[in-house]
Amino acid sequence: MRSLDEAINAGQSGADGGRWVIRGGRLLSADAEPVVVDLVIDGERVAAVEPAGTADAGPVFDAAGLDIAPGAIDLHVHLRDPGQTHKETVETGTAAAAAGGTTLVCDMPSTQPQVTTVDRYVAKRDAWTGRAAVDYALWAGGTDPDQLRGMAAAGAVGVKIYMATSPGFDQLYSPDDTAVRRVLRVSAELGWAVSVHAGDQAASDAHRAELIRAGRRTPADVLAVTRGPGNLAGLRSVLTAATDLRQPVHLAHLSAYGTAALDEFVRARAEFPRLTAESCFPALSEEEDLPRLGVYALPTVFSAAARDRFVDAIADGTIDAIATDHAPHTRDEKDPGRHDAWAAPPGYPALETSLPLAYDALLAGRLDPRRFVDALAGAPARILGLARKGRIAPGCDADLVLLDPAGSWRVDESTMHSLVGWSPLHGRELRGRLVATYLRGRSIARGGDIMYPGGGQFVRRSTGRAVAAGGPGSTEKVPGAAERRSS
């Protein structure tokens, strides 16, 4: 039996792209207790899960003592490419993903130009080709039904609705209930995902103006607006619209709006169970981190009580998915916020620490292994309609992570991959250590080092009515020529 190091150093699927075995690792899954198994990989796919010590198809690598889990799927990232590549690029953002155990990212349409038309969607999709270290899906944006239909045909997994606006989002904006409902109706026809940035622009603007008039400009004042009555009213109205139209919606960054938003969501879901929500894994505290980090901790930072509620909600499945809202800004952009918090854009890099934070919670007994897997991978795959992603089972893509429960590490922003070069978690000690990340059978990262950049592929829905090519069961890339034809 060969050491796992040999498999990882080979840079790819153990041997030569054929069959190989990861022996004796503890498989974490969403629907069963952890169990020590042999995992048989064949090329890009999982071929079989067999009793430990029994599989011998091809080279065998020793994973004794390690946990095996599906790679994370992040429903909500801003990789800034094209348009703001001084903050992040496809290469740097997906390297951060790979190094952190995320094997699929779903990028928001707030890149520049904003992704509101088929032409822009196709241009962005094609511009990413051959550059990503992990697989990727792309959200569509805007409100024009014809463009939305065209973007679905070009491979969009869903649409992001913005009920708030600011310079980078102005064309993505759904300004009122009529616009929101129009997108929901088109979405019912397309069968794709709908992610909503909830808000009420006029109410939030008025709240902000009132605070500024009163001379208020601390990070806590910014948080008061983020968690304020405007965003809660927006949240209520989209939950009502979704329930009226029986069209599932997924709430983006519920954690940013605080515990009142969680209460609203729980109420609405009791009436319409197909609503879903995401949260980052709670990491930053108002008591300790906010005073030290200031605007670098915005937008999502938790009081001790809120942190407990959100961790509980992730742990009991109230919140379906862990998603980062990875939103890098440079220090130069953040720094003006030291004196006037309104002057800094909200957002921080989070991709490289997302799965590691959840694994730390698992090892601390705060997160059950089943929920760890479902929140990071299973639920996002279901929401995006990706049949071969998000779980380790025969026929699925071999996207997985190997984790050492006995290890530990300290977050160090100087060695991380996001282009902005800082992390709000710098210095944090975390239990567990990510040993390796595999994408479709190939080792793409070992610890913090990227082994194989550029192998990530565009992924489209394999379920729902929005499948334009490939058919049910396929989450494969579709070659550029075919995609251009479909748009």
Q: Does 327 bind ligand NCD (CB under 6 A)?
A: yes
> Taking CB under 6 A as the criterion, which residues in 463-482 touch ligand NCD?
none
Sign of the C-alpha dihedral, residues 431, 436, 437, 441? negative
Asked whether the beta carbons of 195 and 321 are under 8 A apart, the reply is no
Distance CA 60, CA 58 (A): 6
Distance CA 280, CA 342 (A): 23
CA dist 312 and 300 (Å) reads: 17
Cβ atoms of 22 and 41 closer than 8 Å: yes
> Could you tell me the smallest distance in angstroms from the CB atom of residue 279 to ligand NCD?
13
Angle between helices 259-271 and 304-315 (to 10 degrees): 30
C-alpha atoms less than 13 angstroms from C-alpha of 268 in its C-beta half-sphere: 28
Q: What does the alpha-carbon distance between residue 10 and residue 196 come to, in Å, rounded to a whole number?
A: 42
Give the residue nearest to Zn ion (CB). Answer: 325
In whole angstroms, how close is the CB of 111 to Zn ion at the nearest point? 12
Can you tell me which of 109, 347, 385, 455 binds ligand NCD, judged by CB under 6 A? Answer: 347
CB of 345 to ligand NCD, least distance (A): 5
All residues at 6 or more sequence positions from 283 whose CB lies less than 8 Å from its CB, including other chains: 353, 357, 424, 425, 428
x/- track of binding to ligand NCD for residues 26-65 (CB under 6 A): ----------------------------------------
Please give the angle made by the CA atoms of 412, 416 and 418, to the nearest 5 degrees. Answer: 135
- Minimum CB distance to ligand NCD, residue 80 (Å): 8
Residue from 78, 307, 388, 460 touching ligand NCD (CB under 6 A): that is 78
Among 91, 264, 289, 325, binds ligand NCD (CB under 6 A): 325
Distance, in Å, from the CA atom of 24 to the CA atom of 21, rounded to the nearest integer, reads: 9
What single-letter amino acid sits at 276? T
Rounded Cα distance, 397 and 479, in Å: 18
CB 346 → ligand NCD: shortest distance, Å? 3
In whole angstroms, how close is the CB of 324 to Zn ion at the nearest point? 9
Please state the closest distance from residue 277 (CB atom) to ligand NCD, in A: 15
Closer Cβ to ligand NCD, 160 or 417, answer by number: 160
Is 31 catalytic? The answer is no
Does the footprint of ligand NCD cover residue 334 (CB under 6 A)?
A: no
Residue 43 Rama label (left phi>0; alpha psi -120 to 50; beta): left
Q: Which stretch binds ligand NCD (CB under 6 A): 53-61, 242-250, 280-288, 341-349?
A: 341-349
Q: Does 374 bind ligand NCD (CB under 6 A)?
A: no
Residue 69 CB, nearest approach to ligand NCD (Å): 26
CB 79 within 8 A of CB 93: yes
Q: Is 110 in the site for ligand NCD (CB under 6 A)?
A: yes
* Residue from 230, 299, 390, 441 binding ligand NCD (CB under 6 A): 299
Comparing C-alpha atoms, which of 63, 132, 152 is closest to residue 351?
132
Q: Which sign, positive or negative, has the C-alpha torsion 381, 382, 386, 388?
A: positive
Q: Which does 388 bind (CB under 5 to 8 A by kind): Zn ion, ligand NCD, none?
A: none
Q: By C-beta, is 142 or 346 nearer to ligand NCD?
A: 346
Cα separation, 435 vs 439, in Å, equals 14
How far are the Cα atoms of 310, 316, 352 from residue 367, in angstroms, in the given order?
12, 9, 19
* Residue 345 contacts which entry, Zn ion, ligand NCD, none (Cβ below 5-8 A, type-dependent): ligand NCD
> Is residue 294 a contact residue for ligand NCD (CB under 6 A)?
no
H helix intervals, 246-398: 259-271, 289-293, 304-315, 331-334, 354-363, 369-373, 379-384
Q: Does residue number 345 form part of the binding site for ligand NCD (CB under 6 A)?
A: yes
Q: What's the DSSP call for residue 335?
A: G
Of 151-159, 287-295, 342-350, 472-480, which segment contacts ligand NCD by CB under 6 A?
342-350
Q: Which does 323 bind (CB under 5 to 8 A by kind): Zn ion, ligand NCD, none?
A: none
> Which of 14, 346, 385, 390: binder of ligand NCD (CB under 6 A)?
346
Q: Binding segment for ligand NCD among 5-13, 126-134, 208-216, 340-348 (CB under 6 A)?
A: 340-348
Site for ligand NCD in 200-239 (CB under 6 A): none
In the chain, count of helices (H) and strands (E)?
16, 18
Binding at 183: pick from ligand NCD, Zn ion, none (beta carbon under 5-8 Å per type): none
Q: By C-alpha distance, which of 352, 368, 360 is closest to 404?
A: 360
**Smallest separation, CB 102 to Zn ion (Å):** 16
Binds 299: which of ligand NCD, Zn ion, none (CB < 5-8 Å by kind): ligand NCD
The reply to whether 250 sits near ligand NCD by the rule CB under 6 A is no
67, 81, 325, 399: the active-site residue: 325
358 binds, among ligand NCD, Zn ion, none (CB under 5 to 8 A by kind): none
**Segment contacting ligand NCD by CB under 6 A, of 63-71, 304-312, 344-352, 440-448:** 344-352
Binding site for ligand NCD (CB under 6 A): 78, 110, 197, 299, 325, 327, 345-347
Mind telling me the catalytic residues? 325
